[in-house]
């Protein structure tokens, strides 16, 4: 059973065909990527986030092609489009040159967004069957976790929602997997089995992280720790703050201990 509506599937076919005609990679990121890998009935989203491998000089011509499909740009959100079938699509330019620069800036508004970690979007994405005769590249959870950390580290106040999403991922990663009962988890001596997913996510992020990624993760952990320490007992989307602190600790333990747990 697909998480996408028939209209969303048709819109994905439409933009994928456009990208294929241009020889341009396109990858699903964000909440829809999370929902494709993690069973979480409470995580809802109205839009689909897409990373497209185009560079700065190609943004307006590519957006012109979207307009040619009848899609309309949403006011005040230069990257957001409303399709003819009513789907909201965030189309994020992230070509090689933009990723090398580390940011994308939209020509009209001048607003910018960090592309830290986006090399993994195209290098480590996996192909997923979404519907009849439709397969799309999607970022797996370790890449999504890295993107969430990078986005929060870049803008802690504007990207607070990423912290909530990351917490959901830490709590649900590999929940139905035997990996939660592996020797590595046992040897970690976690305070409770509920933190095993966060530990395993740390292992998996460590497996793909470059030295630059590790700098981003370190900055994220430095920024988020005081917020957790100073938060009320019930905060961060109404959840137990102490539990989140233990999830972060388990993640850090997996990240730091990956070399000893192949």
For residue 2, name the pLDDT band (cuts at 50, 70, 90): confident
The pLDDT value given to residue 226: 62
Residues 7-14 have a mean pLDDT of 96
CB proximity list for 157: less than 8 A, separation 6 or greater:
none
DSSP conformation letters of 134-196: EEEEE--HHHHHHHHHHHHHH-TTTTHHHHHHHHHHHHHTTTTSGGGGSHHHHHHT-S-GGGH
Helix (H, G, I), strand (E, B) or coil at 71: coil
**pLDDT score of 40:** 80
Look at residue 38 and give its three-state secondary structure.
coil
On the question of pLDDT at 213 being above 70, the answer is yes
State the average pLDDT over residues 137-141. Answer: 97
In the chain, what percentage of residues exceed pLDDT 90? 68
What is the predicted pLDDT for the residue at 157?
Answer: 78
Please say whether the beta carbons of 176 and 40 come within 8 A.
no
Q: Judge contact between 166 and 244, C-beta under 8 A.
A: no
Higher pLDDT pick, 145 / 239: 145
- Asked whether residue 262 carries a pLDDT value surpassing 50, the answer given is no
How high is the pLDDT of residue 53? 97
Q: What is the pTM of this model?
A: 0.90
- Say how far apart CA 250 and CA 195 lie, in whole Å: 6
pLDDT for 259 beyond 70: no
pLDDT tens digits for range 144-178:
999 999 999 988 877 878 888 898 999 999 998 99
**pLDDT tens figures, 97-130:** 999 999 998 877 778 889 999 999 999 999 999 9
């Amino acid at each position: 059973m697909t998480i996408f509506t028939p209209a969303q599937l048709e819109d994905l076919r439409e933009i994928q065909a456009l990208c294929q005609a241009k020889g341009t990679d396109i990858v699903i990121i964000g909440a829809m990527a999370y929902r494709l890998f993690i069973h979480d009935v409470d995580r809802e989203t109205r839009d689909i986030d897409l990373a497209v491998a185009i560079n700065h000089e190609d943004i307006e011509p590519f957006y012109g092609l979207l307009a040619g499909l009848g899609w309309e740009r949403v006011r005040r959100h230069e990257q957001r489009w409303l399709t003819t079938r009513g789907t909201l699509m965030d189309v994020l330019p992230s070509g090689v040159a933009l990723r090398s620069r580390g940011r994308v800036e939209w020509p009209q508004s001048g607003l910018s967004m960090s592309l830290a970690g986006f090399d993994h979007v195209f290098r480590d994405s996996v192909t997923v069957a979404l519907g009849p005769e439709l397969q799309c590249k999607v970022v797996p959870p370790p890449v999504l976790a890295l993107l969430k950390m990078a986005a929060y580290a870049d803008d802690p106040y504007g990207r607070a929602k990423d912290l909530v999403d990351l917490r959901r991922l830490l709590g649900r990663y590999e929940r139905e997997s035997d990996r939660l009962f592996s020797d590595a988890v046992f040897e970690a001596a976690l305070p409770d089995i509920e933190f095993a997913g966060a530990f395993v996510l740390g292992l998996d992020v460590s497996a793909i992280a470059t030295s630059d990624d590790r700098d981003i993760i370190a900055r994220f952990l430095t920024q988020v720790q005081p917020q957790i320490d100073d938060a009320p007992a019930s905060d961060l989307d109404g959840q137990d703050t102490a539990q989140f602190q233990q999830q972060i600790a388990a993640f850090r333990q997996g990240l730091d201990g990956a070399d000893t747990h192949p």
